[in-house]
Amino acid sequence: MAQQVNDEYELTNERIRERMDKIGRKIMVMSGKGGVGKTTVTVNLANELADMGCRVGVLDTDLHGPNVAKMFGVEGESLSSNDGVSFLPVKVRDNLFVISLSFALEDPDAPVIWRGSMKMGAIRQFLADVEWGELDYLLIDTPPGTGDEQLTVCQSIPELTGTIIVTTPQDVAILDARRSVNFSRKLGVAIIGVIENMSGLICPECGTEIPIFGKGGGKRMCQDMHVPFLGEVPMEMDLRVAEDEGKDWSHVGASHPSQKALREIANEINNGTACSTSRDTSFLGTPSCKPSACATCTSNCPSRKKNNG
């Protein structure tokens, strides 16, 4: 019996490897604290990368609170299959696809009451059985914390490119973000960088920035822990409305500071241009959709050493 379980586990690993081999960069978006904007960041980076011509997949591993489909405006779609074995992801745009447990739920209000082993099984099935085809990016949205979901992703995809850690600026969020940094290190996963979301509220009336959660906490943590900082995304009421309505924010234009920031971060990730002694995304290598490798980073870069051992 134990042997049979082991064989099935290995067979699933084999299927995951085959799927993942067709995908360029596999990035897990995580945070210690809930509600800091992981899903918002994931969805927006996906749209920005798709705008750049990349072929992008988004995997929603937040099984208890799957919000990705709503933010992409594809809520209510259901899963389909060509062969009755594997699933086809739901198409958001010609080069952007998504998979979420929400597509398999008949009642969107029904709670998913699952223990760890069931969550692990569902995530591994998504990794093994979704027909993404060739992708430049797979962005994996996770629930808050450093538990079953994050562990399953990291252990099931040994060649995971890295993690993006989302935090808000205030101390209680930073405390939890530090745990995400240490989680990545303990599992030997590279840290692509930290994003400070909700970094100031842009007043919808006058455009003044109000530091509602403070500002700069994410960058200070990065300096202290020697991890790359990817940028600050301010809070904008219109962005929240766009997410609620499932509208693509990437086309609203750079007059919206949050869109400008998200585009810059996506560019930085895709081009690997942020390389310096304090910021190193060069380990990402040359992106398949927009070649522009970082030429300046050396193996002496402290960030590379910290991340890659």
Binding site for ligand ATP (CB under 6 A): 31, 34-40, 62, 65, 67, 143-144, 197-198, 233, 235-236, 239-240, 243, 258
Taking the complex as a whole, the smallest distance from the CB of residue 112 to ligand ATP amounts, in Å, to 14
Taking the complex as a whole, the smallest distance from the CB of residue 3 to ligand ATP amounts, in Å, to 38
Q: Closest by alpha carbon to 102, among 72, 65, 138, 150?
A: 65
Calpha distance 29→41 (Å, rounded): 8
Taking the complex as a whole, the smallest distance from the CB of residue 69 to ligand ATP amounts, in Å, to 12
Within 10 angstroms of residue 102's Cβ, the number of other Cβ atoms is 25
Which residues are registered as beta bridge partners of 236?
A: 202
Calpha distance 279→229 (Å, rounded): 7
| Residue 137, Ramachandran bin (φ over 0: left; ψ between -120 and 50: alpha; else beta) | beta
Q: Do residues 196 and 169 touch, judged by C-beta distance below 8 A?
A: yes
| Dihedral angle of Cα 180, 66, 134, 48, to the nearest 10 degrees | -70
Indicate which of ligand ATP, Mg ion, none lies near residue 34 (CB less than 5 to 8 Å, by partner kind). ligand ATP
Indicate which of ligand ATP, Mg ion, none lies near residue 92 (CB less than 5 to 8 Å, by partner kind). none
Question: Which lies closer to Mg ion via its Cβ, residue 33 or residue 38?
Answer: 38
Question: Which lies closer to ligand ATP via its Cβ, residue 57 or residue 272?
Answer: 57
Query: Could you tell me the two tokens for 129?
Result: 């059985």
Residue of closest CB approach to Mg ion: 39
Indicate which of ligand ATP, Mg ion, none lies near residue 161 (CB less than 5 to 8 Å, by partner kind). none
For 193-232, b/e burial (b = at least 16 CB within 10 A) is bbbbbbbbbbeeeeeeeeeebbbebbbebbeeeebbbbbb
- Angle, to 10 degrees, between the axis of helix 171-186 and the axis of helix 217-225? 30
Question: Which lies closer to ligand ATP via its Cβ, residue 51 or residue 238?
Answer: 238
Taking the complex as a whole, the smallest distance from the CB of residue 96 to Mg ion amounts, in Å, to 18
Question: Which lies closer to Mg ion via its Cβ, residue 68 or residue 289?
Answer: 68
Question: Which lies closer to ligand ATP via its Cβ, residue 187 or residue 201?
Answer: 201
Question: Which lies closer to Mg ion via its Cβ, residue 38 or residue 304?
Answer: 38
The footprint of Mg ion on residues 22-61 (CB under 5 A) is 38-39
Place of tokens 């596999």: 26
- Angle, to 10 degrees, between the axis of helix 237-245 and the axis of helix 38-51? 80
Taking the complex as a whole, the smallest distance from the CB of residue 223 to ligand ATP amounts, in Å, to 22
Calpha distance 74→201 (Å, rounded): 28
Indicate which of Mg ion, ligand ATP, none lies near residue 304 (CB less than 5 to 8 Å, by partner kind). none
Indicate which of ligand ATP, Mg ion, none lies near residue 197 (CB less than 5 to 8 Å, by partner kind). ligand ATP
Question: Which lies closer to ligand ATP via its Cβ, residue 135 or residue 166?
Answer: 166
Taking the complex as a whole, the smallest distance from the CB of residue 250 to ligand ATP amounts, in Å, to 14
Question: Which lies closer to Mg ion via its Cβ, residue 105 or residue 293?
Answer: 105
Taking the complex as a whole, the smallest distance from the CB of residue 36 to ligand ATP amounts, in Å, to 5
Indicate which of ligand ATP, Mg ion, none lies near residue 148 (CB less than 5 to 8 Å, by partner kind). none
Longest CA–CA span in the chain (Å) reads: 67
- Name the site residues for Mg ion (rule: CB under 5 A): 38-39
